[in-house]
Chain A
Amino acid sequence: MAEKTILSLHDISKIFPLRLAFWQKLLGVTPRGITALDKVSFSVPEGSIVGVIGESGCGKTTLAKVLTRLENADSGEVYYKHEDRNLLALTSSEFQKFRRRIQMIFQNPYGALNPRLSTFQTLKEPLEIYKKGTGIEEQAIHILNMVGLTADYLHRYPHEMSGGQRQRVNIARALTVDPEILIADEPVSALDVSTQINILNLLKEIQQKNNIALLLITHDLGIAKYICDRIIVMYLGEVVEWSDKDTFFKKPLHPYSEMLIESVPRFEDKNSGKAGALPKKIKPDKGCLFAPRCPYVISACREKRPPLKDGFPKVRFIRHL
């Protein structure tokens, strides 16, 4: 691809070990783990909005945490622009210079804010470090206004605000430092539709004005369609489709993507969307991970895991005739 990338990910894997009970260790049970990320590779073009979608528990938050170094990956590499050093291998002091450029908005607006700090205190610190000097309070108010909050919220503590108000403080904090890439984990799912639209328009505006990239983790396909340029679909820790937005919504390639698009509830129509029954055992030991739920499954699928196809859009699926 000729375009410039800001972040490229290569084969990132992460397994959360399950702790064994004492007697299991004595019996020599081999530890199983939860594979949260399985060789995830993709890239984020500069100044673009990439949406990551996928089922609950498929590893989206873990991916975001790995990229911001809040969680260590077991293997894999991440490169930032032209830097030839793997971000994941940097020491934490070396990583410090990327901290400002890579900002994260957390999924859980409650845990992400320090309960002892008022909004002003939360915004003050990054403003002082990165924006130097004058008019910290005006700048803080300006940013609050951008996310639809008045100056009144400057001196409130997290527990004195509603869920959506907290989430907007959270977004405001990430915006204080002019990041180059913003990793946003379900940034608007706690917000009502009209605030949601305003925040999405704001993110899009900032993205266009400052040419920042946005990695947007969401389960809301409506949002993905409204704002994203590219779509990454994850299933059980692996990337199954990587496509551009228009192709994805017109003609999804992977059967799982098809299923996602079909199950979206539509408010015009009460009977839209259908839920496929889940099999008892979701994750097969071998073969295609989606095979147990796939409507097109044939015996070959249960034998070999299909690779992510070369070219673009990419898909991990072999359509057997």
Chain B
Amino acid sequence: MNDLLNIEDIQVQFHVWNRIYQAVDGVSFTIPRRKSVALVGESGCGKTVTALSIMRLLPRPQAHIKQGKIYFDNQDLLKMSLPRYQKYYRGRLIGMMFQDPHSVLNPVISIQTQITEHVKYHLKMKTSEILDKANNIFQLVNLPAGEDILKKYPHQLSGGQIQRLMIAMTLMTDPSLIIADEPTTALDVTIQRQILDLLVALKSERDLSYLLITHNLAIVHYLVDIVCIMYAGQIVEWGPCEAIFQEPLHPYTRGLLDSVLTISKETKTKIRGIPGMVPEACDFPSGCRFHPRCPEKMNICSKEMPMLSENKEHAVRCWLYG
């Protein structure tokens, strides 16, 4: 095994109100070294929960990992002691940009203090060195260097500034894997483009890998090599970026691609999107979980759940292909 990250058959459950929600149900994928992977799927399909299980940040006591293994650099992350994990992995070798930056930033502590404390916990660096480095990285992500940002508090920054700050903080500890949960949603196109170019450049310069969680299919293209499409807690299709975009197999993937709004698209007609709702994680339909919304439903689809095909290049979980 020479993969950077290896996730094997992870299942995560939430216990709420005596009900069991199967948020992630048997997800497996690997991130080869120097490659990047995207998790794409509809709201609530389990992307963030998958990321949080790698970070060991699932909310306790409601959530628990029922089964599965996560290897990072051949180390079993779930078996490791928490202090060791916190010091050497979370926030150090594995950086995470959260979907909700405000949940990690303390509102009453200045940005400068938060950055220096974060770095000092993981690395032996002097405050002055840290600030120099921070200023360099700020320049990379197009934040004004110096006191303009450092002396401020989180609520004084705009949505996009906070997001760039999160990227900068993640880069401070030279991680080898960055988990980015919707890293550019709050950014306008010009800045988004700059951030993407930056992330791409860092990838080759620093041997970085990304686990990108996003719903923006346009940015997936720039940044990753492999795409995993998730639906209702499962991976329904995965393959190299080009294959997914050029010959999507699963009807769900095709529905997603058709829902993308671009400025080159004619907008006189109404775009329909995928009809219906994402099923509840405590009450999945029988058979294929997508069948109630599927335009190509067959008899078998409501009876038996299809397996992910064993194709090594481009796999799909659908009865149309097997």
Interface of chain A residues 174 through 211 with chain B (CB within 8 A): 186, 189-198, 201
Residues of B within 8 A of A201 (CB): 270-271, 273
| Partner of B189 from A107, A110, A264 at Cβ < 8 Å | A264
Give CA–CA (A16, B16) in the complex, Å. Answer: 44
Give the size of the chain B interface in residues (CB under 8 angstroms). Answer: 63
Residues of B within 8 A of A219 (CB): 186-189, 192
Question: Does chain A have a CB within 8 A of B161?
Answer: yes
Question: Does chain B have a CB within 8 A of A111?
Answer: yes
| Partner of B159 from A56, A192, A225, A263 at Cβ < 8 Å | A56
Question: Does chain A have a CB within 8 A of B64?
Answer: no
Question: Does chain B have a CB within 8 A of A134?
Answer: no
Q: A226-B267, A275-B197 are in contact. Are A107 and B190 (CB under 8 A)?
A: no
Asked if A56 contacts B261 (CB within 8 A), the reply is no
Cβ of B294 to closest chain A Cβ, rounded Å: 13
| Partner of A55 from B182, B188, B217, B218 at Cβ < 8 Å | B188
| Partner of A56 from B103, B191, B216, B273 at Cβ < 8 Å | B191
Give CA–CA (A61, B160) in the complex, Å. Answer: 11
Question: Does chain A have a CB within 8 A of B256?
Answer: yes
Interface of chain B residues 139 through 174 with chain A (CB within 8 A): 142, 156, 158-161, 164
Residues of A within 8 A of B40 (CB): 192
Asked if B188 contacts A54 (CB within 8 A), the reply is yes
Question: Does chain A have a CB within 8 A of B41?
Answer: yes
| Partner of A155 from B17, B182, B189, B245 at Cβ < 8 Å | B17
Question: Does chain A have a CB within 8 A of B84?
Answer: no
Asked if B280 contacts A275 (CB within 8 A), the reply is no
Residues of A within 8 A of B190 (CB): 55, 259-260, 263, 275-276
CB < 8 Å A-B pair total:
172
Stretch at the interface among A38-46, A120-128, A162-170, A299-307: A162-170
Asked if A267 contacts B43 (CB within 8 A), the reply is no
Residues of B within 8 A of A152 (CB): 280, 282
Q: A57-B161, A110-B100 are in contact. Are A197 and B259 (CB under 8 A)?
A: yes
Cβ of B250 to closest chain A Cβ, rounded Å: 13
Interface of chain A residues 262 through 321 with chain B (CB within 8 A): 263-268, 270, 273-276, 278
Asked if A110 contacts B256 (CB within 8 A), the reply is no
Residues of A within 8 A of B160 (CB): 55-57
| Partner of B263 from A168, A191, A264 at Cβ < 8 Å | A264
Question: Does chain B have a CB within 8 A of A156?
Answer: yes
- The chain A residue with its CB closest to the CB of B103 is A110
Interface of chain B residues 77 through 112 with chain A (CB within 8 A): 99-100, 102-103
Question: Does chain A have a CB within 8 A of B260?
Answer: yes
Give CA–CA (A265, B255) in the complex, Å. Answer: 20
| Partner of B256 from A61, A149, A193 at Cβ < 8 Å | A193
The CB with the most chain B CB atoms within 10 A, among A148, A194, A196, is that of A194
Residues of A within 8 A of B159 (CB): 56, 61, 107-108, 186
Question: Does chain A have a CB within 8 A of B215?
Answer: yes
Question: Does chain A have a CB within 8 A of B120?
Answer: no
For A217-260 the 0/1 string (1 means CB < 8 A from B) is: 00111110110000000000000000000000100000000011
Cβ of A125 to closest chain B Cβ, rounded Å: 22
| Partner of B185 from A61, A162, A190, A249 at Cβ < 8 Å | A190
For A6-26 the 0/1 string (1 means CB < 8 A from B) is: 000000000010000000000
Asked if A165 contacts B44 (CB within 8 A), the reply is yes
Asked if B263 contacts A222 (CB within 8 A), the reply is yes
Asked if A193 contacts B260 (CB within 8 A), the reply is yes
The CB with the most chain A CB atoms within 10 A, among B42, B103, B270, is that of B42
The CB with the most chain B CB atoms within 10 A, among A220, A221, A265, A270, is that of A265
Give CA–CA (A190, B273) in the complex, Å. Answer: 17
Give CA–CA (A56, B270) in the complex, Å. Answer: 29
- The 21 listed contacts between A and B (C-beta, < 8 Å) are A56-B161, A56-B186, A56-B191, A61-B158, A108-B100, A148-B278, A160-B16, A163-B43, A163-B99, A168-B43, A189-B185, A193-B215, A193-B259, A195-B42, A195-B273, A196-B215, A197-B272, A198-B273, A222-B263, A265-B222, A268-B262
Residues of B within 8 A of A (CB): 14, 16-17, 40-44, 48, 59, 62, 99-100, 102-103, 142, 156, 158-161, 164, 182, 185-194, 196-197, 215-222, 245, 255-256, 259-265, 267, 270-274, 277-278, 280, 282
Residues of A within 8 A of B (CB): 16, 53-57, 61, 107-108, 110-111, 148-150, 152, 155-156, 159-165, 168, 186, 189-198, 201, 219-223, 225-226, 249, 259-261, 263-268, 270, 273-276, 278
Which 3 pairs across A and B sit closest by C-beta, in order of nearness? A56-B160, A164-B43, A192-B215
